[in-house]
Chains A and B, each alone.
Chain A
Amino acid sequence: AQSVAQPEDQVNVAEGNPLTVKCTYSVSGNPYLFWYVQYPNRGLQFLLKYITGDNLVKGSYGFEAEFNKSQTSFHLKKPSALVSDSALYFCAVRPISSGSARQLTFGSGTQLTVLP
């Protein structure tokens, strides 16, 4: 069975500074990896995904993520944080071999707070 770990419940960063939200995963075979963001009392919004190819994936709102197969990590990054980036971030994994099932396994989430 697959799993996702987000080791930090809370990340605080000053506006304008770079941010990193960490994610490690465990899956049989090769993974599809995703990042989603959730604002208070809202559903999840897709940010970016890694399918194959270049290990650095660029997504919405200036976010990017780096896939590292040897470390089984998929950390979310942004060069310069904005106050409006403050939200709850979820990493998710799905094995490529899952066939027709679209089941995502999510981490427990990391609350990002960008301080003005």
Chain B
Amino acid sequence: ETGVTQSPTHLIKTRGQQVTLRCSSQSGHNTVSWYQQALGQGPQFIFQYYREEENGRGNFPPRFSGLQFPNYSSELNVNALELDDSALYLCASSFHTNTGELFFGEGSRLTVL
């Protein structure tokens, strides 16, 4: 286990609703990244937070937003849910070094009906 915890593990929403996913990073890690993994695909980078600020973003619309808190935990918020948002959402923490690997949580599986 990596020490990265995510909640909830599973959730079901309907189109148009909003969702908040939470992540506690591994002890000592100060950088958090979020990835979306659609069924049968590799993870896609959503964004990264360091020192409570977003410092990298992938090709996702503004309705995907996030927060990082002083204890380095993080939230991913998705507004106006669409059916294509159904996916496994992975949180990863790391040290803020150039060569550091990412440590992933187990993910939150979101189903949008």
Q: List CB contacts (< 8 Å) of A88-105 with chain B.
A: 90, 92, 96, 100-105
Instruction: Kindly report which residue of chain B lies nearest to residue A32, judged by CB atoms.
Output: B99
Instruction: Kindly report which residue of chain A lies nearest to residue B94, judged by CB atoms.
Output: A102
* Complex interface: chain B residues within 8 A of A26 (CB): none
Q: Is A106 a contact of B43 with CB atoms below 8 Å?
A: yes
Counting residue pairs across A and B whose Cβ atoms lie within 8 Å, the total is 64
* Complex interface: chain A residues within 8 A of B104 (CB): 36, 43-45
Knowing A101-B48, A102-B33 touch, does A43 contact B101 (C-beta < 8 A)? no
Q: Is B56 a contact of A101 with CB atoms below 8 Å?
A: yes
Q: List CB contacts (< 8 Å) of A1-52 with chain B.
A: 4, 32, 34, 36, 41-46, 49, 51
* Complex interface: chain A residues within 8 A of B4 (CB): 43
Q: Is A108 a contact of B31 with CB atoms below 8 Å?
A: no
Q: Is A103 a contact of B98 with CB atoms below 8 Å?
A: no
Q: Is B98 a contact of A104 with CB atoms below 8 Å?
A: no
Q: Is B107 an interface residue (CB 8 A)?
A: yes
* Complex interface: chain B residues within 8 A of A42 (CB): 106-107
Give A5 to B92 CA distance when docked, in angstroms. Answer: 22
Query: Which of A36, A43, A100, A108 is in CB contact (< 8 Å) with B106?
Result: A43
Q: Is A90 a contact of B96 with CB atoms below 8 Å?
A: no
* Complex interface: chain A residues within 8 A of B102 (CB): 44, 46, 102, 104
Q: Is B70 an interface residue (CB 8 A)?
A: no
A-B contacts, 7 of them at CB < 8 A, read A4-B42, A34-B101, A44-B90, A102-B48, A102-B94, A103-B58, A108-B42
Q: B residues touching A (Cβ–Cβ < 8 Å)?
A: 2, 4, 31, 33, 40-45, 48, 50, 55-56, 58, 90, 92, 94, 96, 98-107, 109
Q: A residues touching B (Cβ–Cβ < 8 Å)?
A: 4, 32, 34, 36, 41-46, 49, 51, 90, 92, 96, 100-109
